[in-house]
Amino acid sequence: MESVIPTAPEQPADEKDNQIKSPDQRPDAPPDYNSHFVPGPPGPAVPAPAGYAGGFPMGYNSPQQPGTFFPYQPAGGAHPIQYQPGKYHMSNQPVSVTWMPGPPPIPNCPPGLEYLTQLDTIHVLQHFEPLEMITSFETNNGYDIKNNLDQMVYIVNEDTDDFTRNAYRTLRPFVLRVTDCMGREIMTMQRPFRCTCCCFCCPSTRQELEVQCPPGVTIGFVAEHWNLCRAVYSVQNEKKENVMRVRGPCSTYGCGSDSVFEVKSLDGVSNIGSIIRKWNGLLSAMGDADQFEIHFPLDMDVKMKAMIFGACFLIDFMYFERSPRRSSR
């Protein structure tokens, strides 16, 4: 008797096609994600803070609670696809940044400064630009503003044309734009050009910084005072009335140690806060990537916090900004 070998039942043709077209199961193959973006309804309107008639300035939206993670998105409007860290490396992959949660609007507080009401210490981290050291071409400065939890609070970018930056170098007039996590410009700092080659004791040659918050509304000035051996500044209100003083060390170019600028009362008795330029080793000695630490009282008026914050940048440009060396022929 002939043995009969059982055979599997014949499968339909469509099932065979499904087996042939099965997805690649190799571990190195990236997953096939389908992104469907559906915009949600607009957020509720938020009333303007007290003391600011007419609502928020043009270009401001209602403050919203930002997410904990806010990704840098590339230009072009494309939605970024984030892969598992360490896998599927992509050079243009957006980097997630942890932002400080946005506080609610506060009466009599300029829009965007609500963050400062919750802080007594902020860190100013300048971006390192290796292109400046290689090409001797001065680029716009950029800074990250963070809190003690390493959460991003603001981003500061210089807005100065190429000719002005490279012609005047560290003496250049500049405009610094401070933006929050929503990309809104909440503060503008302007430094006019002052020639310092004539007479240092002449009032017209002293450096000055104007702070506007919101942009277009001046809240104060930081004015330099002539001193033989140390940096001295006055922090003024919008009427140019002196409110505080900033007193620097005798040697601001200390090597291997921090440079402390004390914020004091007008009589010089009370110590209000400090602006500390941190020594960062090799980067501080050779590169142009300064780091500052600003301290002020937690219950201090938010406008005065913003003025001390602005004084930090005038100090950076005057004493710690290094222009790239020009090639000599």
The per-residue pLDDT for range 106-126, each reduced to its tens digit, is 998 999 999 999 999 999 999
Q: Please state the rounded mean pLDDT for residues 8-27.
A: 51
Q: Is residue 105 part of a domain?
A: no
Q: Residue 78: its pLDDT value, please?
A: 44
- CA atoms lying within 13 Å on the CB side of residue 318: 26
Q: Please state the rounded mean pLDDT for residues 90-110.
A: 78
Q: Is residue 144 part of a domain?
A: yes
More confident of the two residues 51 and 134: 134
Q: Is residue 54 part of a domain?
A: no
Domains contained in the chain, number: 1
More confident of the two residues 202 and 212: 212
Lowest average pLDDT, out of 17-26, 72-81, 165-174, 244-253, goes to 72-81
Q: Is residue 99 part of a domain?
A: no
Residue 216 reports pLDDT greater than 80: yes
The pTM for the full model equals 0.68
Q: Is residue 254 part of a domain?
A: yes
Q: Residue 285: its pLDDT value, please?
A: 53
CATH number for position 126: 2.40.160
279 contact partners, CB below 8 Å, separation of at least 6? 254, 256, 257, 258, 259
Separation CA 64–CA 168 (nearest Å): 40
If one counts every other C-beta atom within 10 angstroms of the C-beta of residue 198, the result is 9
- Contact criterion met (CB below 8 Å) for 243 and 236: yes
Omega of the bond leading into 214 within 30 degrees of 0 (cis): yes
State the DSSP string of 126-147. EPP-HHHHHH------EEEEE-
Q: Is residue 80 part of a domain?
A: no
Residue 173 reports pLDDT greater than 80: yes
At residue 97 the predicted structure's pLDDT band, cuts being 50, 70 and 90, is: confident
145 residue type, one letter: I
Q: Is residue 295 part of a domain?
A: yes
More confident of the two residues 205 and 178: 178
- Contact criterion met (CB below 8 Å) for 151 and 306: no
Percent of the chain with pLDDT over 70: 61
Q: Is residue 64 part of a domain?
A: no
Q: Please state the rounded mean pLDDT for residues 291-320.
A: 94
Q: Residue 56: its pLDDT value, please?
A: 45
Question: In the structure encoding, which two tokens stand for residue 283, read together?
Answer: 């980067």
Q: Residue 254: its pLDDT value, please?
A: 56
Domain span holding position 226: 121-278+289-320
